[in-house]
């Protein structure tokens, strides 16, 4: 399978020889998870980071520059990674925790190659692990939702249950509670990052039950939440219906005619993180074996304000809580045990 994916042949004489790629350029590539490179979320943010790096140094998409391969399913991860190794990229990222095992495996097979894993940890000297404090941005999103809700019913739609989505969920719930502990937060999981239809059904149920703001942390599945909200807004322009986006600024995804239903987005700056890792590696300081974590302090997470949909009072409250997080007065919970401890304070 690997040979087929790589175009045949078993000559490995060029593997790991980055100085022989015919250029002084530092080349970088990535493998997406099943959400695809244009998921308007996580993978897209990572790809934007690679594109920004390429533009900065005048590189072109392709060999000796920057590139990506999309994965349609789990079976694509290893062939895609092997293909990029054969193409001799200096640094290869696996985007998303679903690539943790494939990156671990290929790193052992190719100890002279350099890899990065986003949203998971691989303990290997030739792999840098990139994590985020998603709970910090999610906490601020929860504060915003609690200030803006009219029904005191808020929804959270997750993709697949994992440590990453746990941080989003529990940080969000804590932020809502910080403003108003009487608000009900309904939580549902899609079970996939690539099932927009199911996410749409969940959103339909939530909005029908009186939820007026849904925060999705569901990757490509989150497109279904936007679709449901936009359809409702289109049929009733007076409907108080909102979506909080994730990973990227998803303001444009909320446009429906003259209206926009994106309240804000809990931005996870994968683009910032991958550019930072690329620059370190390009300068000869590849952080292999290390875990790099990006939060508010590192400009790794933030809350968008595109569209000016939040009131001045909401923005001021969000800023107050952001300052508390930055100075250590508040530590947003990243899992259920931490949330329980937070709620009992």
Q: How far apart are CA 94 and CA 138, in angstroms?
A: 24
Residues 181-201 have a mean pLDDT of 96
**Which of 173, 227, 169 lies closest to 198 in space, CA to CA?**
227
Complete domains list, the chain, with CATH = 19-132+270-298 (3.40.50.2300), 134-268+311-343 (3.40.50.2300)
Question: What was the pLDDT predicted at 21?
Answer: 42
Residues 114-136 have a mean pLDDT of 97
Q: What is the pLDDT of residues 302-329, one digit of tens each?
A: 999 999 999 999 999 999 999 999 999 9
State the pLDDT confidence band at 36, using cuts at 50, 70 and 90.
Answer: confident
Residue 263 pLDDT more than 60?
A: yes
Length of the chain counted residue by residue: 345
Token pair 């899609």 is found at 190
Tokens of 37: 């490179």
Three-state DSSP class for residue 229: helix
Q: What is the 3-state secondary structure (H, E, C) of 149-198?
A: CCCCEEEEEECCCCHHHHHHHHHHHHHHHHHCCCCEEEEEECCCCCCHHH
Q: What does pTM read for this prediction? A: 0.86
State the pLDDT confidence band at 40, using cuts at 50, 70 and 90.
Answer: confident
Could you count the other beta carbons within 10 Å of the beta carbon of residue 194? 21
Q: What is the pLDDT of residues 225-235, one digit of tens each?
A: 999 999 999 99
Percent of the chain with pLDDT over 70: 93
Q: What is the mean pLDDT of the chain?
A: 92
């Amino acid at each position: 399978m690997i040979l087929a994916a790589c175009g045949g042949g078993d000559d490995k004489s060029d593997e790991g020889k980055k100085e022989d790629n015919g250029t002084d350029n530092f080349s970088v590539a990535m493998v997406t998870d099943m959400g695809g490179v244009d998921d308007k979320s996580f993978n897209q943010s990572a790809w934007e980071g690679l594109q920004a790096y390429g533009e900065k140094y005048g590189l072109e998409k392709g060999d000796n520059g920057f590139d990506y391969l999309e994965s349609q399913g789990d079976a694509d991860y290893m062939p895609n990674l092997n293909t990029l190794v054969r193409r001799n990229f200096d640094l290869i990222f696996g985007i998303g925790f679903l690539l943790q095992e494939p990156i671990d495996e290929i790193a052992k097979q190719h100890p002279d190659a350099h890899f990065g894993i986003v949203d998971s940890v691989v303990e290997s000297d030739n792999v840098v692990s990139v994590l985020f404090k998603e709970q910090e941005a999610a906490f601020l999103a929860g504060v915003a939702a609690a200030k803006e809700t009219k029904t005191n019913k808020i929804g959270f739609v997750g993709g697949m249950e994992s440590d990453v989505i746990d941080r989003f969920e529990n940080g969000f719930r804590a932020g809502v509670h910080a403003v108003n502990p009487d608000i009900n937060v309904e939580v549902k999981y899609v079970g996939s990052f690539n099932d927009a239809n199911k996410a749409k059904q969940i959103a339909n149920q939530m909005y029908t039950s009186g939820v007026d703001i849904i925060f999705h942390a569901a990757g490509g599945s989150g497109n279904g939440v936007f679709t449901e909200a936009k359809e409702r807004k289109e049929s009733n322009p007076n409907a108080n219906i909102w979506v909080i986006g994730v990973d990227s600024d998803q303001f444009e995804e909320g446009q429906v005619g003259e209206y926009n239903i994106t309240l804000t987005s809990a931005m996870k700056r994968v683009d910032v993180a991958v550019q930072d890792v690329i620059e370190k590696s390009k300068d000869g300081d590849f952080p292999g074996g290390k875990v790099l974590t990006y939060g508010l302090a590192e400009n790794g997470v933030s809350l968008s304000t595109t569209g000016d949909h939040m009131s001045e009072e909401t923005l001021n409250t969000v800023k107050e809580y952001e300052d508390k997080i930055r100075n250590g007065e508040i530590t947003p919970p990243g899992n259920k045990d931490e949330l329980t401890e937070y709620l009992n304070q």
